[in-house]
């Protein structure tokens, strides 16, 4: 057990290498940024930005939120919030997703998270993309939530927040199973969508919802892959 803990600590500290490099270069408030909720048929897109103090030690277990059990994500999100010096969320609601597209919604959610940080950040580490319309230096890492510590921390915070939100929306819009699938297009969700029709938080720009509404073009698919 002690050897397993030691290996987890070593792996966690290794994940902080990008932050340490930036701290050594004089960047004090380095933020990891990630978004969740691109793929679901319902609910908002949520992003988080997380800043750790220079010299921080890593919380063992932080990783891409999709790789973690739900209970472990909740534990880690609490640990991240306790250790971080700043955490901010950015939320893009369904109407904006439908109006501007889910790709732009993801970028805007990340931008809102970044501008919500107090104090403001001076460098961004971002999963896969660059955050638009912010005057902050940044670096993007493909699958960064799996190997850049603060990006992984942001992915966990965003995922836990969004899952909790979808559980609360399950009570407001019963019958769809939002508490179980968080709006993703599972068989349970698709069956409920066919049976009940779309509710107020369904994304009407996504093909399965459009089809139920009689709006889908059979030659196109608007439902993207994503997280």
Residue range 198-207, pLDDT digits in tens: 999 999 999 9
- With cut-offs at 50, 70 and 90, classify the pLDDT of residue 15: confident
What pTM, to 2 d.p., does this model score?
A: 0.90
Instruction: Give pLDDT, residue 13.
Output: 61
Whether residue 146 lies inside any domain: the answer is: yes
Give helix then strand counts, H and E, for the chain: 9, 5
* φ and ψ of 159, to 5 deg: -65, -45
Handedness of CA 170, 175, 180, 181 (dihedral sign): negative
Whether residue 141 lies inside any domain: the answer is: yes
| CATH number of residue 134's parent domain | 3.30.420.10
Which helix (H) or strand (E) covers residue 98, if one does?
Answer: helix 94-100
Whether residue 185 lies inside any domain: the answer is: no
* Beta strand spans in the chain (E): 30-36, 45-51, 86-92, 123-127, 138-141
Domain that holds residue 131: 2-162
Whether residue 150 lies inside any domain: the answer is: yes
Count: domains in the chain = 1
């Amino acid at each position: 057990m002690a050897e397993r803990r030691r290996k987890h600590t070593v792996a966690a500290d290794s994940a902080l290498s990008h932050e340490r490099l930036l701290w050594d270069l004089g960047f004090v408030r380095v933020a990891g940024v990630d978004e969740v909720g691109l793929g679901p048929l319902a609910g908002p897109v949520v992003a988080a930005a997380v800043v750790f103090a220079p010299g921080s030690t890593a919380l063992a277990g932080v990783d891409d939120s999709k790789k973690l059990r739900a209970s472990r994500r909740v534990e880690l999100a609490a640990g991240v919030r306790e250790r971080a010096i700043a955490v901010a969320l950015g939320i893009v609601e369904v109407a904006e997703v439908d109006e501007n597209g889910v790709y732009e919604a993801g970028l805007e959610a990340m931008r809102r998270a970044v501008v919500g940080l107090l104090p403001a950040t001076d460098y961004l580490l971002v999963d896969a993309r660059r955050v638009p319309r912010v005057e902050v230096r940044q670096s993007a890492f493909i699958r960064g939530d799996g190997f850049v510590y603060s990006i992984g921390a942001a992915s966990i915070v965003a995922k836990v927040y969004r899952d909790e939100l979808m559980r609360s929306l399950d009570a407001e819009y019963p019958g769809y199973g939002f508490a179980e699938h968080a709006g993703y297009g599972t068989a349970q969700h698709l069956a409920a969508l066919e049976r009940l029709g779309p509710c107020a938080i369904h994304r009407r720009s996504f093909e399965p919802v459009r089809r139920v509404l009689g709006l889908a073009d059979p030659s196109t698919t608007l439902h993207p892959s994503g997280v």
